[in-house]
Copies of this chain bind each other. A is one copy, B any other.
């Protein structure tokens, strides 16, 4: 059969040929068809070549979900450069480590981020040129010692048609660092092949199931793990692509859904909570919305129910990771069966549950284990790492603890690094947190291990009550009795006014441990 390289430029070529007028819309301004976007992205590749980039070189992007950012994705990847997405919510110090390790030669900067970029460039001598996306040119200041271009000027001055896809499918296409909330951030270098196969895997009718009839609102940032793959999946099927720009607040989401007839919306649950709050406050509905895809963290059943009621749309849960490109599992996108946990594993990813020592559990169902995965879109070794991040059977350790039910639905029950070892046995804080989190009046909850002379560690429970609620410690502990083993019940309850949060919005267990975990 033909040798036909699986490269992501083929997705945009396909869209340009078959869905040339289908739109990419940016909230706050900008509307273009796939054919025109393909021409511009390709000319951008030519411009980047003129700036001296060579196949394999990295282009950093510090940007929101906009047309320019998408053009930078394809402008870089199509010509064989690597699009290295940077999260503007991290500190400059963190970002500088990533940019320098990645050896980014170009930095593309989105609206409102020029100040941050100025500071970042100062710490990153390898950046040769800065490209200002969106309206960032309006904020232009002296990023004095680097060549600086407004995006449209760059296209006009240096843009030129060039050849795409002239490299092997194993060539790198994208680079994304894990959040690094614990330990040093680690880079995941996606290849064209891994992105292509991830896209086909996601497009299955039992997975994300995007079609040409869809209008997809991508609320998940494009700097998070390929924007969950929608920058590839949407052109691959000719779906209308709606990018919210800088503002992902409820009002903006509601407006975009209504104006662009959005059928599928994808993002973390807090975005949809904001949308519901906005709708509750202002009234009205989002009648075209058929489905909300959520990921990033597990979503309580009560919230799923509230979302399905309020939005009159199906909630599709999912689980993924930066290291998985990111899709792992997904609940069914349609049909009578509703979301259970994070859904099921579409073909293309192998999986096993192991014990702490890495041995496959004899029984893979209805017990918690360490989740290990294998697949064409799973990390092999971290960027510039010497060693592979795989076990002897080639599986990657997700660091997640998970349980699978009889129907194959996966539920993430915790993180292995959060496990507490008490008297030589493991306690999973996630399971305790799940029970406490469902109690009325409980806001945020965390269970951590505290050193203990006799047992090694013992669990302690830290709770932030909801505003104007009080709960007594005994009620909390009583709720656990009968639902977990007696020796899992925490020795101590600490109620706090403000739970410490990491930049990603997750509870910062490192800070909790520093404060409470030593005897």
Contact = CB atoms under 8 A, between A and B. Distances in A.
B200 A237 contact: no
A376 B197 contact: no
Given A379-B1, A379-B2, A11 B347 contact: yes
Contacts of A197: 6, 200
A380 B348 CA distance: 25
Contacts of A19: 408
Contact of A394 (B1, B2, B205, B325): B2
Nearest to A375: B4
Interface centre among A2, A11, A210, A345 (most CB of B within 10 A): A2
A18 interface: yes
Interface residues of A, number: 52
A13 B345 CA distance: 13
A427 to B, nearest CB: 29
A478 interface: no
A377 B11 CA distance: 17
A44 B333 CA distance: 37
Given A6-B376, A205-B211, A213-B337, A1 B347 contact: no
Contacts of A337: 213
Interface string A244-272: 00000000000000000000000000000
A378 interface: yes
A1 B205 contact: no
A201 interface: yes
A203 interface: yes
Interface in A278-325: 325
A380 B1 CA distance: 5
Given A203-B204, A204-B237, A236-B347, 17 more contacts: A1-B189, A1-B376, A2-B375, A2-B378, A2-B379, A6-B197, A13-B350, A18-B345, A19-B408, A197-B200, A200-B200, A205-B205, A205-B210, A206-B212, A206-B237, A212-B344, A237-B346
29 contacts: A1-B193, A1-B194, A1-B325, A1-B378, A1-B379, A1-B380, A2-B378, A2-B390, A2-B394, A3-B380, A4-B374, A4-B378, A6-B376, A13-B350, A14-B347, A18-B408, A200-B203, A200-B204, A203-B204, A204-B204, A205-B209, A205-B333, A206-B211, A206-B237, A211-B335, A212-B344, A213-B335, A213-B337, A237-B346
